[in-house]
Amino acid sequence: MSVQHPAGRGPLAGRPARGPRGSAAEAPDSPAGGGDPVGVRHPRPARTGPRPAATGIAVIGAGAAGLTLVDALTAPGRLPAPPVVLIEATPGPLRPPPRTWCFWQEGAGRYDAAVGAAWQRLRLHDTAGRAVERDIAPLRYKMVRSDDFEALVSRRLAARPGVRRLAADVDAAAGLPGGGAEVRATAADGSPVTVRARWVYDSRPPDPLPAGRTGLLQHFRGWFVRTDRPRFETGTVELMDFRTRRPAHGLSFGYVLPTGPCTALVEYTEFSRRLLDDAAYEEALGHYCREVLRLGGFTVRARETGVIPMTDAPFVRRAGPAVFRIGTAGGATRPSTGYTFATIQRQSLALARAVRAGRSPVPPRPHPARARAMDAVLLRALDSGRIDGPEFFVRLFRRVPPGRLLRFLDGRSTLAEELAIGARVPVLPMLHCAAELPLLPRRTPPGPRIPTRPRHGIPEGPEGPEGSGVPAGPTGPEGPEDCQTPEVPAPQEEL
Ligand SMILES: Cc1cc2nc3c(=O)[nH]c(=O)nc-3n(C[C@H](O)[C@H](O)[C@H](O)COP(=O)(O)OP(=O)(O)OC[C@H]3O[C@@H](n4cnc5c(N)ncnc54)[C@H](O)[C@@H]3O)c2cc1C
């Protein structure tokens, strides 16, 4: 592998490689057996000649997928780790703001040190306010903040000799005639950077999204709230609360991740075709907090906004002979739910194992074909209004054992389990949608666009967001007595 900047410039110019070099456990070695060490080169512009052989791996993007893959590729293990260059966007609009990822998992996981909270009970409320609650043991619903995840993985990578990190905005990644691929990027100072590698894994968000028959968006606004009285049940996540105001198209629900009796991430989410404007999210979330959850006095300590594509579009995993897409860009988002994080973990581990063993470098299919086909039908049914979304989800949750349902959502259910789940859904409208799908045109859905300005996770003042209508209450460490009690600590798991 080679990394090139114009002589003496570039983000790594003159700097030593990160981390100690040459440990036997993680000695750089290419999956293809090449021995070209990871190195930074500053070629003299005038000199031409044979370029170094492309070995090693380049990973574009240091989000969930990029970091997980580099972590898996270079983890100490029996099989040799390839040299890896992780190319992360320069500080600025290409770096996504902090976000909160949730997923379910049985037992301990590789990223438990970054898990901020975990729960064993999930609840749904139907539109009439009836609750359905389930214990998901032995699974746990875990929450990871992206900042904590990045810090954890960065600490690990810093100690691995075969990993280089490079800050540059990637402009293009393409295969080379003789094998391998080249990534062209621009460093923060405007200088061009070229990285050559045997394989390139690209997690840059697709823009535009590929064309699908249904293109819904899961879009949401969350508030990290602190109430002035204990209002949250700390052991239970409100997964889908359909007591929200119903949008004209699609569906909406509230989502509550309680992190203490007085603190929670509360979100208003829609599955629909169009995003709302800022004021509309604030209004809908304010209504949910005040009128549905009846939080009383509270302040908003930070915000989170997100858009996740829910589409049956086929995502290309192989963009060229030596260039592959991973993460959301490679179709890791489950179309019917938007959950992505756990799929990224599974896919990265499987891919890293294959690459280190010298097998196929193509990322494995993130979701089984059967699951994608069922999701395509469900998305069509939701989008066309042939099924009532809230009723559908509550019915599934009420009638299907939680372990089976979550296995299905993970794409790990058996055919028998899927048939059993199929028997719990409104059969006729679903059959209607399945029959019309092949006749529908594929269209490029709107957004989500790459954010141009960070808006998420921005701490708010104690008086609450301006103009949001959120009651300004006495909060924070100076809040009333009963909210001074320490938050219920997140259950710790042994690794
Ligand atoms: C607010 C929010 C909450 C979510 N919550 C959940 C959840 O609870 N559970 C779940 O399973 N999924 C969730 N998702 C969906 C999904 O898990 C996340 O979107 C996840 O971040 C996807 O990982 P990724 O690596 O594919 O993309 P990202 O994490 O977005 O990473 C892409 C990376 O590419 C980099 N990049 C972009 N352009 C360039 C460039 N030109 N050059 C170099 N680098 C570049 C970016 O800086 C970024 O680091 C959520 C999504 C959002 C937006």
Distance 65 CA to ligand 1 centre (A): 7
Q: Which run of H or of E encompasses 239?
A: strand 236-241
Q: What is the reported pLDDT for 325?
A: 97
Q: What atom of ligand 1 comes closest to residue 448's alpha carbon?
A: 53
Asked if residue 204 has its Cβ within 6 Å of ligand 1, the reply is yes
Report the distance separating Cα 325 and Cα 163, nearest Å. 20
Q: Tell me the C-alpha distance between 183 and 165, whole Å.
A: 14
Distance CA 8, CA 190 (A): 14
* Residue nearest ligand 1's atom 52 by CA: 306
Q: Is 143 in the pocket of ligand 1 (CB under 6 A)?
A: no
**Å from CA of 401 to ligand 1 middle:** 31
Q: What is the pLDDT of residue 482?
A: 55
Structure tokens at 55: 């070995």
Query: Residue 452: which residues within 8 A CB-CB, separation 6 or more?
Result: 93
User: Residue 349 is encoded by which pair of tokens?
Assistant: 């581990």
* pLDDT at 150 (0 to 100): 98
Per-residue pLDDT of the chain (495 residues; tens, 9 = 90+): 667 755 444 433 323 333 322 222 222 333 333 333 333 333 334 444 445 446 699 999 999 999 999 999 999 999 999 999 999 999 999 999 999 999 999 999 999 999 999 999 999 999 999 999 999 999 999 999 999 999 999 999 999 999 999 999 999 999 999 899 999 999 999 999 999 999 999 999 988 888 899 989 999 999 999 999 999 999 999 999 999 999 999 999 999 999 999 999 999 999 999 999 999 999 999 999 999 999 999 999 999 999 999 999 999 999 999 999 999 999 999 999 999 999 999 999 999 999 999 999 999 999 999 899 999 999 999 999 999 999 999 999 999 999 999 988 887 888 888 888 888 888 899 999 999 999 998 988 665 544 333 333 333 333 233 323 322 222 232 233 356 544 433 333 222
From the CA of 59, how far away is ligand 1's center (Å)?
14
- Give me 142's structure tokens: 């875990």
Q: What atom in ligand 1 is closest to the CA of residue 170?
A: 42
How far away, in angstroms, is 205 Cα from ligand 1 center?
A: 8
Q: List the residue whose alpha carbon is closest to atom 4 of ligand 1.
A: 101
Q: How far is the CA of 144 from the centre of ligand 1 (A)?
A: 13
How high is the pLDDT of residue 157? 98
User: Judging by DSSP bridges, how do beta strands 215-227 and 298-311 pair with one another?
Assistant: antiparallel
Tokens 């032995």 identify what position?
A: 138
331 C-beta closer than 6 A to ligand 1? no
Return d(Cα 460, Cα 222) in angstroms, integer. Answer: 13
- Ligand 1 centroid, distance to 63 Cα (angstroms): 5
SS3 406: helix
Q: Which atom of ligand 1 is nearest to the CA of 146?
A: 21
φ/ψ of residue 359, rounded to 5: -90, -160
Ligand 1 atom having least distance to the Cα of 330: 26
- Substitution site in 200, 341, 450, 456 for ligand 1 pocket (most atoms within 8 Å of beta carbon): 341
* Predicted local distance difference test score (pLDDT) of residue 215: 86
| Ligand 1 neighbourhood includes 223 CB (under 6 angstroms) | no
Cα Dmax for the chain:
74
Q: 175: which residues sit within 8 A by CB, 6+ positions away?
A: 181, 182, 320, 321, 322, 323
Give the CATH fold of the 2-98+145-208+317-356 domain.
FAD/NAD(P)-binding domain (3.50.50)
**Can you give the pLDDT at residue 422?**
82
Residue pair 187/87 in contact by the 8 Å Cβ criterion: no
Residue 187's contacts (CB-CB under 8 Å, 6 or more residues apart) are 5, 9, 10, 11, 90, 167, 168, 193
Ligand 1 centre distance from Cα of residue 31 (Å): 27
Dihedral sign from CA coordinates of 327, 116, 353, 33:
positive
| Atom 20, ligand 1: residue with shortest CA distance | 64
In short, whether 96's Cβ falls inside 6 Å of ligand 1 is: yes
- Atom index in ligand 1 nearest the CA of residue 329 equals 26
Q: What is the pLDDT of residue 38?
A: 36
State how far the alpha carbon of 111 is from the alpha carbons of 137, 143, 345, in Å.
19, 10, 10
Q: Class of the 117-143+212-310+452-483 domain?
A: alpha beta
Ligand 1 center to 23 CA (angstroms): 32
Q: What is the pLDDT of residue 445?
A: 65
